[in-house]
Structure 1
Amino acid sequence: MIVKMKFVSITGPRSDIDRVTDLYLSRYEIQLEHAMSELKTVDNLRPFVEVNPYKDALTKATQYVGLLKNQNVEPDTSMGLDDMFEVVRSANHDYLEFEANKDQLKRKREELREKQKMIAPFRPLNCDLHEVLRYKYIKYRFGRISTEYHHRMEKYLLEDLGAVFVEGERDESFVYGAYFVAQGEAHKVDAVFKSLHFERIELPDVYEGTPDAAYHELEKEIAGIGKQIEDVDAAAGDMLAGRAAKLVAAKKRLEDLASNFDVRKLAARVEDNQEDYYILCGWMAETDVEKFLHEIKDDDKIFVVVEDDHDNYFGEPPTKLNNPKVFKPFEMFIQMYGLPAHDEMDPTVFVALTYTFIFGVMFGDVGQGLCLLIGGAIIYKVKKAPLAGIISTAGIFSTIFGFMFGSFFGFEDVIEPIWIRPIEHMTKLPFIGKLNTVFVVAVAFGMGIILLSMVFHIINALRAHDKGDALFDVNGVAGLVFYGSAVATIVLFMTGNSTPAGIVLAVMFGLPLLLILFKEPLTKKLEKKAAKSEEGIGMFLVQGFFELFETLLSYFSNTLSFVRIGAFAVSHAAMMQVVLQLAGAESGSPNWIVVVLGNAFVCGMEGLIVGIQVLRLEYYEMFSRFYKGTGRKFQPYNEK
């Protein structure tokens, strides 16, 4: 059912808006609308232009609560607002000190890594770097040369240069190392190595011992700094853990205060005779309005007006659904199609009953139905997933129709059918001959559903005060009379009873079709508007004829669409027969692995297909006749 909504306007002194929001509105569900655009009858409205004073503190509190290892602590509710700000401020001050210390350590670690990276390619060199970098009579050059030029150097030049090249590490592209040369030959050797594209690497005089020893020493220093960083993180975590109860309480309270303060974005100000007022407006459930008014009756700083005149505000009321728990999961299907407008009927109960009933007929099996029932119930209990609740409810009807059809995990010799076996039972009809019984029942059921959908259309049209649509639409009274007459005639003929006389049939079928054909001019006549056709009488009749022909075809196709109910009931039984044949059930000793896997496959695949097909019937054969789904969702401002 749809909860009845009321539009309320709340006003009071501007300085009192936080108290009212925190004391009253935070405990009620109210969808606030923008007062500047909603209130048409109030002059001199101005917006609030204020910065939320709780945002920064809330951001910090959220950050530090998120860093807590255990957030499930009992909040300290003894603090006042100033205490909460102080807790967040002091935690931020201390945490930033830890972060500054950690940043300093990280920068030092990066410097050591750069030194280590520089010395790494020269680790194979067995020399004391500190001594080498202080040579006076021998020139040295550390660097790298491409592998191609290194090969040329070794083959053609090195013996004639009077220099020594000591190789370090190499990769796919370069050979790292250092060459040593006497001072007198340095210029010539430097020129040759430059021509070989030797890239020099300047090593600072900060290393002790061999490159390999210096590398490992740096590695130890880096590991030590990493341990210091871990100690800083642990100290910061201990600091926050010691204040966990206060931080969690501060975060929760600041969230409420920040949310309440943001109400100003939707509020308006009115200045009158040097007095400054706020105005808030929005939608509340009728029952909440009554409680709210009762609660504020002795509060002289707040004034509430409940609007009953739609001319005082824009827009239509939002939609809030409130159905019994057993039907609650089926609201998901309604939301997928579109929420009902405030003047439409809520089809949730109708969908719940028809969906589960049709699903049960199409998927009738006691064993598989119980699996759907139990599995869906467990998932819904744990995850609260609406689809799981729908599956569980559908499993109830699958189980019921499993008893009706005498099917238990595909075995049809375990229990006797209460009604019929879908794959075997036939019905003899006049003119048609023998036809599967479930097909006949499915079509008859579809006719009844279509007639019921037309009744719903009439109800919705009357609620919307659209008399023309209620009377002359293809799903209105005219369509109901025509289709109902057709159904009655078919039933009389198929059951061997005499049908009405030709004149009666002509009136029963002809008059409703004429009303449908002339719906537009009749509606204008009913609404006392000029019935003029811009296209001319001839074009109107031609267009009306083809539309009427399309309507007749839709009646026929929509009715036959329900045959799928019987078809899936038969196909389910046929598929399970195939599974049992593959398992060798006819021999009396079936392969139980095949039986189990076959049941799982059929239950999963056919369950999915049946679920989709039933939803298609709901949307296209039922909803399309009476339901628009143009409502907007009710969204309280304090909804988490």
Structure 2
Amino acid sequence: MIVKMKFINISGPRSDIDRVTDLYLSRYEIQLESALSELKTVDNLRPFIEINPYRDALNKAVQFVELLPNVQDIVPDTSLGLNDMFEIVRKANEDYMSLEEKKEKLKKKTEQLRTKQQVIAPFRPLDCDLHHVLNYRFINYRFGRIAVEYYHKMLKYLMEDLGAIFVEGERDESYVYGAYFVSPGEVQKVDAVFRSLHFERIELKDEFEGTPSYAYQTLDSEIARIHIEIEDLDKAAGEMLSDRAPQLVAAKNRLEELSNNFDVRKLAARVEDKKEDYYILCGWMAEDDVEKFLAEIKEDDKVFVVVEDDHDTFFGEPPTKLENPKLFKPFEMFIQMYGLPASNEMDPTVFVGLTYSFIFGVMFGDVGQGLLLFIGGGLIFHFKKAPLAGIIATAGIFSTIFGFLFGSIFGFENVLPALWLRPIDHMTTLPFLGKLNTVFIIAVAFGMGIILLAMILHIINALKSHDAEGAWFDANGVAGFIFYASAVASIVLFMTGNSLPAGFVMAVMFGVPLLLIFFKKPLTRLIQKRADKMEESKAMFIVEGFFELFETLLSYFSNTISFIRIGAFAVSHAAIMEVVLMLAGAEEGNPNWIVIVLGNLFVCGLEGLIVGIQVLRLEYYEMFSRFYKGTGRAFQPYTKKTNKK
């Protein structure tokens, strides 16, 4: 059901706002609205312009708590005062930043070493002492790289007459790395040749010892040593935070409360004149909470509360808060997916819970598979609190019930007696139609009943919202209900072999409701005593009315026939399980139990998913579309209830 909401104004001395939010409002759920925009009739309203003093410390506390392992197992230290919490966070931040600064220096050093590695890496195959080479006095050298295609040309055409030695290092798909050595007298000529071959020089600094390979390994060892130092610093930071874990968790929790309470100022307003300076807060609160709140502040002379009775006129539509029995609570997920009910609508959660579970049970009737859904969904819901798991568990109960009614357990239909009928076998003979599967007939009859019930819910919702057209002349209103109920009654009389009413009675039963639906707009204006005229011409009105009426009749038929899917899935489920048992060789008396187990799991998963989607489709398109709008907005309290005393 929808919790009844009240719009309240809370005011008091400006300096008392933190005490009120911390002592009272943090213990209730209240959706605060902007006082500046809601209280348009109050003069001299001004916004609060203050910086949150808890935000920085809270951000640091959150950062440190997120670094702690198994936070949920840490017991907060509740003995700390507010100043102690600030000091704990400040000292932890100081020590943490000191360790982080050391880490950053080591990381920069690592990057520098990696840069050196990248320079020296391509020359590792060269067997020479780099320090000696870089200090040659009578031989010129050039380290660098040359494109592969030019390297091959150099070897083929130039190398014999070049007067230089090229020592190859590593190569990749594009380049050959290495160095060439040349006498000082030939250096200009050789350099010119290598420039024409697009040789790219790589400068090596005299900072390496031994061969390039040895220098690379030395740098690698140095990087590994620095990584160990960084890991030691991380470990030290973790130990430092773990030693202060109870204090940090307590500081984070309390600072979060205080920060949220302080941020209430964003929605509050100030009224300041020569004599007074006070705050105003306003918002929506559940009626029961309002009564408790008023009783609690009765002796507090610094808090003033006004409950607005005519809130719809001045403050708009109340937010929607749903409160249903635990059994139906998971089905609120389906309501939220479609849209929350407005304050003047009925909450369809219980209706959805009952109809969804019932229809699912009919379409998926099997004792064994129903129990699997119930146990699996129940366990997941117990540990994870997932709404969908709760829905699966409830649907599994109804699947089990209809499994007994159909006499089916894990697909076997010769173990349990059918308490009602077997969907795949039971047939019924009807006039004009002949033999039909009984489950199909019952599914359509059930659909007719559901559609009539949805029309009744539509009428109730329309009356609650003072919608005369919707209540009396709509296709789902009183006129539509009478027409559809007359059609249902006539079909039942014909199929059961009873005589139909006289022609004049039939004309009244069907004709009058259709005329009311056709002329719903002018009739509504007549009831409401409105003087406005129709926007369209009479001819256009008749054409539009005719096609709308035709669409209405077509929707009655299609929505009713749509419920055949209930019987179809009940029969198909039994047929699929027959196939599984046939593949397992159950008919021969020596079944393959592995095939039976895997087949049941496959059917339980895949067909269960398909049936769940099909039932949801029936809910949304065949039922919700008739009575439910879902135009409400969610109730969003600025903080959840706490048990703080």
What TM-score results when the alignment is normalised by the length of structure 1?
A: 0.94
Q: Find the residue that maps to 1:313 and give its secondary structure.
A: helix
* Corresponding residue of 2:66: 66
- Alignment map for 1:2-401 (pairs within 5 Å): 2-71=2-71, 72-310=73-311, 313-401=314-402
Q: Find the residue that maps to 1:415 and give its secondary structure.
A: coil
CA deviation after TM superposition for structure 1 residue 639, in Å: 4.2
Report Cα offsets for 1:475-512 as digits up to 9, x if no partner. Answer: 22222222222222332333233333333332222222
- Alignment map for 1:463-478 (pairs within 5 Å): 463-478=464-479
* Corresponding residue of 2:429: 428
- Contact 2:312-2:318 at 8 Å conserved across structures: no
- Alignment map for 1:569-608 (pairs within 5 Å): 569-608=570-609
- Contact 2:476-2:627 at 8 Å conserved across structures: yes
Q: Which amino acid is 2:446 matched to? A: F
CA deviation after TM superposition for structure 1 residue 458, in Å: 1.3
- Contact 1:319-1:633 at 8 Å conserved across structures: yes
**Number of residue pairs matched?**
640
What TM-score results when the alignment is normalised by the length of structure 2?
A: 0.94
Report Cα offsets for 1:135-175 as digits up to 9, x if no partner. Answer: 33333333333344444444454454544433333333333
Moved more, 495-504 or 362-371: 495-504
* Corresponding residue of 2:637: 636
- Whole-Å separation in 2 of the counterparts to 1:399 and 1:499: 40
**Would the alpha carbon gap of residues 522 and 155 (structure 1) be closer, same or farther in structure 2, given more than 3 Å must change?**
closer
Moved more, 31-40 or 62-71: 62-71
Q: Find the residue that maps to 1:320 and give its secondary structure.
A: coil
- Whole-Å separation in 1 of the counterparts to 2:149 and 2:498: 104
- Whole-Å separation in 1 of the counterparts to 2:70 and 2:423: 59
Are residue 556 (structure 1) and residue 557 (structure 2) matched? yes
- Contact 2:7-2:311 at 8 Å conserved across structures: no
- Alignment map for 1:449-598 (pairs within 5 Å): 449-530=450-531, 532-598=533-599
- Whole-Å separation in 1 of the counterparts to 2:248 and 2:466: 56
- Whole-Å separation in 1 of the counterparts to 2:171 and 2:543: 89
- Contact 1:521-1:531 at 8 Å conserved across structures: no
- Contact 2:26-2:640 at 8 Å conserved across structures: no
- Whole-Å separation in 2 of the counterparts to 1:86 and 1:304: 37
Q: Find the residue that maps to 1:634 and give its secondary structure.
A: coil
CA deviation after TM superposition for structure 1 residue 451, in Å: 1.5
**Would the alpha carbon gap of residues 605 and 195 (structure 1) be closer, same or farther in structure 2, given more than 3 Å must change?**
closer
CA deviation after TM superposition for structure 1 residue 32, in Å: 0.9
CA deviation after TM superposition for structure 1 residue 265, in Å: 1.3
- Contact 2:28-2:640 at 8 Å conserved across structures: no
**Would the alpha carbon gap of residues 141 and 289 (structure 1) be closer, same or farther in structure 2, given more than 3 Å must change?**
same
Report Cα offsets for 1:8-32 as digits up to 9, x if no partner. Answer: 1111112211111111111111111
RMSD: 2.2
- Alignment map for 1:408-419 (pairs within 5 Å): 408-419=409-420
- Contact 1:39-1:312 at 8 Å conserved across structures: no
Q: Which amino acid is 1:138 matched to? A: I
- Whole-Å separation in 1 of the counterparts to 2:169 and 2:540: 95
**Would the alpha carbon gap of residues 199 and 432 (structure 1) be closer, same or farther in structure 2, given more than 3 Å must change?**
closer
Q: Which amino acid is 2:50 matched to? A: E
Q: Find the residue that maps to 1:116 and give its secondary structure.
A: helix
**Would the alpha carbon gap of residues 161 and 413 (structure 1) be closer, same or farther in structure 2, given more than 3 Å must change?**
closer
**Would the alpha carbon gap of residues 278 and 196 (structure 1) be closer, same or farther in structure 2, given more than 3 Å must change?**
same
Report Cα offsets for 1:84-119 as digits up to 9, x if no partner. Answer: 222222222222221222222222222233333333
Report Cα offsets for 1:192-241 as digits up to 9, x if no partner. Answer: 44344333333222223333333333332222222222222222222222
- Whole-Å separation in 1 of the counterparts to 2:242 and 2:619: 55
Structure 1's unaligned 5+ residue stretches are: none
Q: Which amino acid is 1:123 matched to? A: R
- Whole-Å separation in 2 of the counterparts to 1:207 and 1:567: 81
- Contact 1:143-1:177 at 8 Å conserved across structures: yes
- Whole-Å separation in 1 of the counterparts to 2:126 and 2:542: 102
* Corresponding residue of 1:444: 445
**Would the alpha carbon gap of residues 472 and 176 (structure 1) be closer, same or farther in structure 2, given more than 3 Å must change?**
closer
